Amino acid sequence: MYFKTDLHATGTGQVPVVREIIAQIARVEGRPDIRWNERFERATELWGPGGEARFLAPLVPMLEDYASFKGTYTLGDKESGGQWIIPDKRAFDRVADGIGPLYDWEFQSSSGACTERFPGAVMWGNSFSDLYVRLGLHRYFCSYRRLSIPIGGRMAFNRFALFLDSIPRGTKYFIYQYYAPHIQIAPLLDSSAPLPR
């Protein structure tokens, strides 16, 4: 479910999260016909070192086998039923520095596919939601836009205000994803900081 050398959940560990997001919105929308229904082949991959392993001083590389899937989705790849909009691919190489376009990427479903999907959604999240795309969460919404949370400070609030102003028409859901062990530094939850307009 989780990497041994890193705080992040593996794809296997993220499946229940993605499934639950879809189940909760299906309940609210009165759409029991929509549920997470992806068919991936289970696999094992070698990965590492994770964030925690990089803080150690190992004498040998700290790699690990972890449970993964084959046939998952890839951000930016051609897909049936929609298209990706990626304003600046350089954003993938930066570590949430708060600099960049109004959003990281968006998936827009084709008009014919929208009737079988939820209304638009936006996500304000960090690296713990990166695997949601691989598991196909974006394919359950008419549109799905993501902005990664900058690492703390005024920059997070400034970028959030701009993100709010850029939310497209037809968006109904705002998903705020943050990892509980770091909640004390989560943007928007700091009671001493003014909220964006």
Give domain status of residue 123, yes or no. yes
User: Domain total for the chain?
Assistant: 1
Give domain status of residue 142, yes or no. yes
Supply the pTM of this predicted model. 0.83
Domain containing residue 161: 11-185
Nearest to 33 by CA among 141, 116, 132, 135: 116
Whole-angstrom CA distances from 75 to 14, 141, 191 are: 16, 15, 34
Give domain status of residue 4, yes or no. no
DSSP codes of every residue in the chain: -B-SSSSSB-HHHHHHHHHHHHHHHHHHHT-TT-------EEEEEEE---HHHHTS--SS---EEEEEEES---TTS-BTTEEEE-S-GGGGGS-S-S-SSS-SEEEEE-HHHHTTSB-EEEEEE-GGGTHHHHTTGGGGBSEEEEEEPPSSHHHHHHHHHHHHHTPPTTEEEEEE---GGGGGG-TT--TTSPPP-
Give domain status of residue 55, yes or no. yes
Give domain status of residue 75, yes or no. yes
Report the alpha-carbon distance of residue 48 to residue 59 in Å, rounded: 14
pLDDT for the residue 195 = 46
Give domain status of residue 65, yes or no. yes
pLDDT tens, residue order, the chain (197 aa):
888 888 888 899 999 999 999 999 999 999 999 999 999 999 988 888 788 887 777 777 788 888 889 999 999 999 999 999 998 877 666 555 556 677 889 999 998 999 999 999 999 888 889 899 999 999 999 999 998 876 555 556 667 777 888 898 889 999 988 776 555 555 555 545 554 44
Which tokens hold the place of 169? Answer: 């028409």
Give domain status of residue 191, yes or no. no
